Chain A
């Protein structure tokens, strides 16, 4: 399991010595000193060792001196010893044969009188990373874990992890995890306890996929007993250990509300810690514990505001960036709660640009009726800023605020003032915004067009801005007297226009202008079409050809296609789906927040955290009591903390019910297609007498046809479900906690189904007929929430867990599937969807 050997000797950079002659020189000198007992020999050795280490640091390969270094290592001088350990640890991996030379003296040092030497030797021994030397590790490690010195035990605990990474089998066979576990629960030294905990966590996380026992052990780490044991000692741990311990507590599933409040009260003072990492880890615990308690959750937001703001102000700019990223996440989730704190997010002169960008986004999100004037005034100041990228961002921010407000009056004026500033980049950014504004608020066209008409197209060079200007020329050509002539001159310079985007817009604008003012535009349109047909860019060519043929066919049809009456856009699509936002929130206090991406997007599989807890589990544990009309489901955290933009999205004419909070346009589209396919039931794959035959192939096929689902997955293997599957709620809850979501999709429910869904029981009975059992349900019209499970019929007992939220007013179901065997979940989803679509029909 040793990583591949390091690349052969790296050629040193020209600024550094070539190394060759120096190394042989060093070897010679070391050899001379090796046996020397002369006074001062240790000092000369120190100097030589230092040179070796410094070459090693800059990247010169000094491994050639390995045997000489080992010869010199017989010394009682601890400084020398440490340098030697460092050297050996660095080169042993690529010189396993030579590493054997060191075993002897390291083993001897492991028995030294001085606990520090024992610890250092043990650490180096475990750091050799040579697989065929593991046999020499077991005995010293075993002894180290029982050592009287806490330093040695501390080192030994981490040593177990090092051994695990060299040879997992040796580590597990020697039963080290069990030893660590008992050490964790009994050792008087907090750092030993902490190290045992990290090591066990890492080992069980990696083992959990391979063995049932390991995943049970992993759960034990999250048991009430261990979590409370550790929480009660929290102040004994140093700040770093506290952070990692709190990370564990954030995954703990509380048994009841008392449990939650006990933990929160215990950790309350951690919010006053000067170390930002401790504070953020504590906040994560608070946020996760209160997921299902809306009021308390909101209180937590209020409580953590001040400490976070203090951290932003107190550390280095790097530290404040990390904290500010988390504030950014919270602000995006609940802008309303921060609307009076907007001044804290004003940019400061000394802020680096990565901080300013975050602040601008936060200001944009927070803006509402009460503070828009102040925020926009402030942003306008930045628009004239010498820092051009920030000036651009600021203008975009003003535009975004205008798009999310109902009262845009004042903002439009400001935007138009930007155009008068006559700075190229300001004009460019503003044009793009004015275009978007006009698409949402066509009523402003008169004022805007008057100003836009005065802009000389020669001053607009950036493709995006040019495209926006051309779009406006086409769209409002009836109000701009010069429009045909400006377009004409732009078309004349067709060949100089590099951006295809601009040429595409030019074609469309010429068409629109032509429909409105045919005599003036005819010539320009002809020139544009001719230039377009000769264009080397495929899209431009195709569009020109398309327009040309349309016009040939029928001009009035062409007009209906190219320039139909437009409806104002109510909401511009959100760039990030709510699913992704929730994932990032689940990964609070991690790099995901800084990158604004869930971890699966930037980490390799083997480095991913295997369990992800989310809010559902909190809801589930509460919803278990009576399977009735529990009102708790109605008020999920999302609804209450809904951002203004999301509210609008719901209220907008295009979307459906209040529960459609997170649907972004593409998913909607997708799901309506799915419903199409599921009505044209096909009967193929599975042969299971007495059970309806389902397949998901049809849905896949249709998705494919329309190019929606890019992955043309092979037909899933047939899947049979155990009609008598059983699972107790506790196990379900645990599994739900451990497994990652393998499928999360929306699907629609037939109108008949909606009609039949008066109580949750109706659907539960229906799904039972398809061997899909319900374990908990709740809700009232229009929102119902179900947790289902099913078990694979043959083979090992593999379970599928489903969370299904049905919204009757939008006739949609949000389905999340977690599976023991994620590869089968696609097939299972097919079954599930098919069963659901038959609800009320049969």
Chain B
């Protein structure tokens, strides 16, 4: 079972270190850090999450710039350990409000309290934020979250909508707010990561949505909640053998598959697509789903690169936002690798462009175009003039690209999966907790080939 657990900073310092079984030497953190740092010197490859050095298995996840690591000599289930590490990070975040090096350093004694109960002699005991409450006696020292750079999917909401209380997602589950009263509220976030690959002719080669219904509950007294999804939601696609008329009509949402948090009961799911659960404290994914049904991609990307005389070429990138004008995408980054012998690039941004920058990353040999926001329905173009240090041979389109795009679109979801209603069992007639249902779409791999 698990021999040690430790958290290392980006520089390799121990922030917490817990030895559960005394089977692995104390120097393991150093061995681990050196190995990860210099995984492959010549090729810039990342160390895999699981590796073995001299009979000791090192299993780690990277969260908020920190390494959460366990060591073991036993042939454990890697999934078990990786899930556990992720969960430890999440529970810690539930308690500290914000998870980063600073908050961990300030609260390491509290983290030790948690670790004491989460794992005993290498065996996982509990990761329930609620159960752990009775064992944690340190008050968290909450760090000022407004000065913290936003991390994780929840932070995307902070810029997008005005209504959202900025601190809500960074609130500790055990800290009472000034005034001594806890605000009764629950957050339900529908987060979708989309992957699309466009062929050089603009045709969609592959598309997939990986979605999560994430919840964070600050409700007291464990009320039951009911979360209703689209009535016509169907699950399980018989691969592609049977043609489904509904999917072509664009009405029904068809998920390939989904899974649920253990607190979710599906008694009436087959009848009315409703999940019922008593939400545990803290943040958790109530449901994960995957969809490969065709959907309308939020952006159309087209690009062109052509030779323009000796040692010169011109690249044009066009983006069209295919969503409603009421929706705005933010923090858009478009990257395009260019031939390695590119020496200089000059850019022409469209006239009147606001909040746009374009840059040639010389080391990585790629163009980077950043846009603060894109309003639905608008179109944007970047023109770049490339100067080469040597003559190109052959097809320069083969030596450039593919284009990759990163973005976040709050209050938009590509799958059309909706929360029809969120019902909370009432404890008293006056009981009316705040309910926040938020949608967001994020690019996972949004690629256009040249």
Contact, CB under 8 Å: A318 / B60: yes
Which among B49, B108, B206, B446 has the highest number of chain A CB atoms within 10 Å?
B49
Residue B353, interface by CB 8 Å: no
Beyond the given A273-B260, A340-B239, could you list 17 further A-B residue pairs with CB under 8 A, ordered by the A residue number?
A6-B26, A7-B26, A57-B15, A79-B138, A238-B128, A243-B77, A272-B259, A306-B257, A316-B86, A321-B48, A348-B445, A349-B402, A381-B402, A590-B77, A590-B78, A602-B52, A603-B55
B residues 350-368 in Cβ contact with A at 8 Å: 364-366
Stretch touching chain B among A382-390, A439-447, A659-667, A721-729 = A382-390
Please, how many angstroms separate the alpha-carbon atoms of A356 and B219 in the complex? 42
Query: Which of B46, B57, B404 is in CB contact (< 8 Å) with A352?
Result: B46
Contact, CB under 8 Å: A322 / B78: yes
Residue A195, interface by CB 8 Å: yes
Contact, CB under 8 Å: B19 / A322: no
Tally of contact residues, A, Cβ under 8 A? 98
Q: How far is the CB of B69 from chain A (nearest CB, A)?
A: 11
Please, how many angstroms separate the alpha-carbon atoms of A421 and B126 in the complex? 56
Please, how many angstroms separate the alpha-carbon atoms of A602 and B76 in the complex? 12
Contact, CB under 8 Å: A590 / B76: yes
Stretch touching chain B among A67-75, A307-315, A621-629, A809-817 = A307-315
Which 4 pairs of residues, A with B, have the shortest CB-CB distance? A313-B210, A348-B445, A240-B124, A306-B257
Binary per-residue interface labels of chain A (343-377) against chain B in the complex, 1 for a CB within 8 Å, 0 otherwise: 10010111111100000000000000000000000
Please, how many angstroms separate the alpha-carbon atoms of A53 and B85 in the complex? 22
Contact, CB under 8 Å: B260 / A58: no
Contact, CB under 8 Å: A315 / B86: yes
Closest to B287 in A: A274
Please, how many angstroms separate the alpha-carbon atoms of A591 and B75 in the complex? 6
Please, how many angstroms separate the alpha-carbon atoms of A351 and B193 in the complex? 13
Contacts known (A158-B121, A318-B49, A343-B206); A420 close to B82, Cβ less than 8 A: no
A residues 570-614 in Cβ contact with B at 8 Å: 587, 589-595, 599, 602-604, 607-609
Contact, CB under 8 Å: A590 / B75: yes
Residue B232, interface by CB 8 Å: no
- Chain B residues with CB below 8 A from A314, complex form: 210, 212, 259, 285, 288, 290
- Chain A residues with CB below 8 A from B402, complex form: 349, 381
Residue A791, interface by CB 8 Å: no
Closest to B20 in A: A127
Contact, CB under 8 Å: B120 / A123: yes
Query: Which of B1, B22, B82, B239 is in CB contact (< 8 Å) with A93?
Result: B22
Query: Which of A59, A78, A321, A421 is in CB contact (< 8 Å) with B398?
Result: A421
Closest to A7 in B: B26
Q: How far is the CB of A352 from chain B (nearest CB, A)?
A: 5
Interface residues of B (CB under 8 A from A): 1, 13-17, 19, 21-23, 26, 43, 45-46, 48-50, 52, 55, 57, 60-63, 73-80, 82-86, 108-109, 112-113, 116, 120-121, 123-128, 134-135, 137-138, 193, 195, 197, 206, 208, 210, 212, 236, 239-240, 256-262, 285, 287-290, 292, 337, 364-366, 393-394, 398-399, 402, 404, 444-447, 449
Binary per-residue interface labels of chain A (475-497) against chain B in the complex, 1 for a CB within 8 Å, 0 otherwise: 00000000000000000000000
Stretch touching chain B among A275-283, A518-526, A712-720 = A275-283
Please, how many angstroms separate the alpha-carbon atoms of A90 and B4 in the complex? 12
Q: How far is the CB of B312 from chain A (nearest CB, A)?
A: 20
A-B contact pairs, 26 of them (CB 8 A): A3-B22, A57-B16, A79-B109, A82-B116, A123-B116, A161-B121, A165-B21, A191-B125, A195-B125, A238-B126, A240-B84, A240-B124, A281-B77, A307-B259, A309-B256, A313-B210, A313-B290, A319-B79, A319-B82, A322-B82, A354-B46, A388-B43, A423-B399, A599-B75, A604-B55, A607-B75
Please, how many angstroms separate the alpha-carbon atoms of A306 and B195 in the complex? 18
Please, how many angstroms separate the alpha-carbon atoms of A793 and B212 in the complex? 65
Please, how many angstroms separate the alpha-carbon atoms of A281 and B288 in the complex? 19
- Chain A residues with CB below 8 A from B261, complex form: 274
Please, how many angstroms separate the alpha-carbon atoms of A590 and B127 in the complex? 22
Q: How far is the CB of B273 from chain A (nearest CB, A)?
A: 15
Contact, CB under 8 Å: B17 / A57: yes
Contact, CB under 8 Å: A310 / B258: yes
A residues 403-423 in Cβ contact with B at 8 Å: 420-423
Binary per-residue interface labels of chain A (308-341) against chain B in the complex, 1 for a CB within 8 Å, 0 otherwise: 0111011111110111011000000000000010
Q: How far is the CB of A84 from chain B (nearest CB, A)?
A: 12
- Chain A residues with CB below 8 A from B121, complex form: 158, 161-162
Please, how many angstroms separate the alpha-carbon atoms of A530 and B377 in the complex? 75
Contact, CB under 8 Å: A603 / B74: yes
- Chain B residues with CB below 8 A from A123, complex form: 116, 120
Interface residues of A (CB under 8 A from B): 3, 6-7, 10, 50, 53-54, 57-59, 78-79, 82-83, 86, 90, 93, 116, 120, 123, 129, 154-155, 158, 161-162, 165, 191, 195, 198, 202, 238-241, 243-244, 247, 272-277, 279-281, 306-307, 309-311, 313-319, 321-323, 325-326, 340, 343, 346, 348-354, 381, 384, 386, 388-389, 420-423, 587, 589-595, 599, 602-604, 607-609
Contact, CB under 8 Å: B83 / A306: no
Closest to B288 in A: A314
Please, how many angstroms separate the alpha-carbon atoms of A323 and B85 in the complex? 15
Interface of B is mostly: mixed
Contact, CB under 8 Å: B45 / A594: no
- Chain B residues with CB below 8 A from A352, complex form: 46, 48
Contact, CB under 8 Å: B73 / A607: yes
- Chain A residues with CB below 8 A from B83, complex form: 275-277, 315, 319
Contacts known (A316-B61, A322-B82); A389 close to B445, Cβ less than 8 A: no
Which among A93, A315, A587, A592 has the highest number of chain B CB atoms within 10 Å?
A315
Contact, CB under 8 Å: A346 / B206: yes
Query: Which of B1, B48, B257, B285 is in CB contact (< 8 Å) with A307?
Result: B257
- Chain B residues with CB below 8 A from A325, complex form: 78
Please, how many angstroms separate the alpha-carbon atoms of A423 and B84 in the complex? 44
Query: Which of B15, B123, B260 is in CB contact (< 8 Å) with A272?
Result: B260
Please, how many angstroms separate the alpha-carbon atoms of A316 and B63 in the complex? 9
- Chain A residues with CB below 8 A from B124, complex form: 240-241
Contact, CB under 8 Å: A280 / B79: yes
Please, how many angstroms separate the alpha-carbon atoms of A172 and B21 in the complex? 20
Q: How far is the CB of A237 from chain B (nearest CB, A)?
A: 10
Please, how many angstroms separate the alpha-carbon atoms of A354 and B36 in the complex? 13
- Chain B residues with CB below 8 A from A346, complex form: 197, 206
Closest to B52 in A: A602
Contact, CB under 8 Å: A589 / B43: no
Contact, CB under 8 Å: B256 / A58: no
Contact, CB under 8 Å: A277 / B80: yes
Closest to A46 in B: B109
Contact, CB under 8 Å: B288 / A310: yes
Please, how many angstroms separate the alpha-carbon atoms of A384 and B339 in the complex? 11
Closest to A241 in B: B124
Contacts known (A123-B120, A314-B212); A274 close to B262, Cβ less than 8 A: yes
- Chain A residues with CB below 8 A from B289, complex form: 310
- Chain B residues with CB below 8 A from A6, complex form: 26
- Chain A residues with CB below 8 A from B287, complex form: 274
Q: How far is the CB of A164 from chain B (nearest CB, A)?
A: 10
Contact, CB under 8 Å: A306 / B23: no
Closest to B236 in A: A306
Contacts known (A155-B120, A280-B77); A591 close to B256, Cβ less than 8 A: no
Contacts known (A238-B128, A603-B75); A198 close to B123, Cβ less than 8 A: yes
Please, how many angstroms separate the alpha-carbon atoms of A270 and B420 in the complex? 27
Closest to B210 in A: A313
- Chain A residues with CB below 8 A from B21, complex form: 165
Contact, CB under 8 Å: A158 / B123: yes
- Chain B residues with CB below 8 A from A238, complex form: 126-128
- Chain A residues with CB below 8 A from B76, complex form: 590-591
Q: How far is the CB of B360 from chain A (nearest CB, A)?
A: 15
Contact, CB under 8 Å: B14 / A313: no
Contact, CB under 8 Å: B61 / A274: no
Please, how many angstroms separate the alpha-carbon atoms of A352 and B74 in the complex? 26
Q: How far is the CB of B136 from chain A (nearest CB, A)?
A: 10
Closest to A590 in B: B75
